[in-house]
Structure 1
Amino acid sequence: MKILLVEDDVDTRSYVSAGLKVRGHSVDESGDGNEGLLRASEHDYDVIVLDRMLPVLDGMSVLRSLRVGGTHARVLLLTALGDVDARIEGMEAGADDYLGKPFALSELIARLNAISRRTAHTNATTFLRVGNLELDLIAQRVSRAGRVIHLQPREWDLLKYLALHADEVVTRAMLLEHVWGFQSSPHTNLVDTHVCRLRSKIERDFLGPQMLRTVRGEGYVLSTKQSR
């Protein structure tokens, strides 16, 4: 991926940049919002990692300017502001994902991989399909091989998020944030319990390889592809 990293903290910028480069990504760096906006406007990037609190021009202003200007690069917003209102403001301004500080590099990379490979689903999309599993987004109905599967509301939210990220490893932290709205990981097996219940419903009585799999040490993946 070609990535623009806009972060004023030198240590954080160097740490993230080095971690991305060692994984084969091309990284351009900017230390303030004005320079970041200029670079993003003049070059095509797959993903922009944008700090919210920037000198000269703050990250939210950069983000809004990019979207008004028609820039379609995915944007991962970094911020030390962990409240729900701040997160909502960022997403409504056009961010594709949101990561609170401090963060683990592995989490940032997982989110970058997810948003860069994410299939574009427009507002006109009414169905999601993963193999013979189908989600009707309007009726909020799930079926597999033509057989309706009844889910609880939270199970529906969980499956929808996994289906939107089909074939991608989704971490527990990502599920806690996007399905439950937690900014930090509580000491609970909340995710594991719901995944277990969901798995029993979408796998039980169906032939074929398991679709909802646990990736040890990383998270979960919903996929029809065989694990290696």
Structure 2
Amino acid sequence: MASILIAEDEARIATFVEKGLRAAGFATRVAPTGTEALHLAQSDEFDLLVLDVNLPGIDGFAVLEALRGSGSRMPVIMLTARVELHDTVAGLEGGADDYLGKPFRFDELLARIRLRMRRDDDTGAVVTLRHGELELDVRTRRARVGTHSVELSSREFSLAEEFVRNPGQVLSREQLLSRVWGYDFDPGSNVADVYVGYLRQKLGAGLIETVRGVGYRLV
């Protein structure tokens, strides 16, 4: 199982990212300060670092500089509200592999993490998910039902993946919004219901069951 270090001092965001990555099959650990993040990143226990810039102690740029100065080639994805061009350039030129601005959507972060994991054998993460006749390739983002290929949008695929990773479990609308649409979602939105409808049309009407007053379940 691939292990990811999350350097993030905002507890709400750190918890959101950690829960999502664990659901996606990764082991995780959170470092709330730059000093702790650097110490853990140099321990060779992790396969990738999600690094916030505005960390207490030493900031993300200093962590990255020290990490690259020590010869570490661990993939680093910088996650920050500082998205001005000079900050992005500084991060990438400093050795970051990617730079994602806040607010962000979890499925985009997850896609970037998987992209940076060089080979499937190295990640330890599941590449193909199956439930009955439904098959999802999380690397290529392609779906099949039986022998037929099904075209899914990025958001539809992420929603389908969430269901397949949690078969038989009732997922509330709030859980789906948080995991698929991001931590800054509108809790009053009906977008999850709309996209469940899309999946039923494309994957089969009986695949996702409505649990009244609670949410949805893959059956």
With the length of structure 2 as denominator, give the TM-score of the two structures: 0.55
> Contact 1:114–1:168 at 8 Å: present in 2 too?
no
Q: What whole-Å deviation, never above 9, does each CA across 1:117-170 have from its counterpart, x for those lacking one?
A: 379xxxxxxxxxxxxxxxxxxxxxxxxxxxxxxxxxxxxxxxxxxxxxxx745x
Structure 1: state its 5+ residue gaps. Answer: 120-166, 170-212, 220-228
Corresponding position of 2:83: 82
1:218 to 154, 171, 190: 154
Corresponding position of 1:222: none
| CA displacement at 1:104 relative to structure 2 | 0.6
Amino acid at match of 1:59: G
> 3-state DSSP class of the match of 1:48?
strand
Amino acid at match of 1:217: S
Corresponding position of 1:13: 14
Higher relative contact order (CA 8 A, sep 6+): 2
Distance in 2 (CA, whole Å) between partners of 1:77 and 1:23 is 20
Distance in 2 (CA, whole Å) between partners of 1:82 and 1:116 is 24
Amino acid at match of 2:97: D
Task: Kindly report the root-mean-square deviation, in angstroms, between the aligned alpha carbons of the 2 structures.
Answer: 2.3
| CA displacement at 1:85 relative to structure 2 | 1.3
> 3-state DSSP class of the match of 1:42?
coil
Q: What whole-Å deviation, never above 9, does each CA across 1:3-27 have from its counterpart, x for those lacking one?
A: 0000000000011001101111010
| CA displacement at 1:50 relative to structure 2 | 0.3
> 3-state DSSP class of the match of 1:43?
coil
1:32–1:218 Cα change, 3 Å: same
Amino acid at match of 2:72: T
Distance in 1 (CA, whole Å) between partners of 2:151 and 2:91 is 30
1:215–1:51 Cα change, 3 Å: farther
1:34-183 to structure 2, matched below 5 A, reads: 34-117=35-118, 168-169=140-141
Distance in 1 (CA, whole Å) between partners of 2:91 and 2:68 is 12
> Contact 1:3–1:49 at 8 Å: present in 2 too?
yes
1:217–1:46 Cα change, 3 Å: same
| CA displacement at 1:61 relative to structure 2 | 0.1
> Contact 1:7–1:50 at 8 Å: present in 2 too?
yes
Distance in 2 (CA, whole Å) between partners of 1:214 and 1:91 is 36
Aligned pairs, how many?
130
1:60–1:40 Cα change, 3 Å: same
Distance in 2 (CA, whole Å) between partners of 1:106 and 1:168 is 14
Structure 1 runs of 4+ aligned residues shifted over 3 Å read: none
% same residue: 36
> Contact 1:5–1:27 at 8 Å: present in 2 too?
yes
> Contact 1:63–1:95 at 8 Å: present in 2 too?
yes
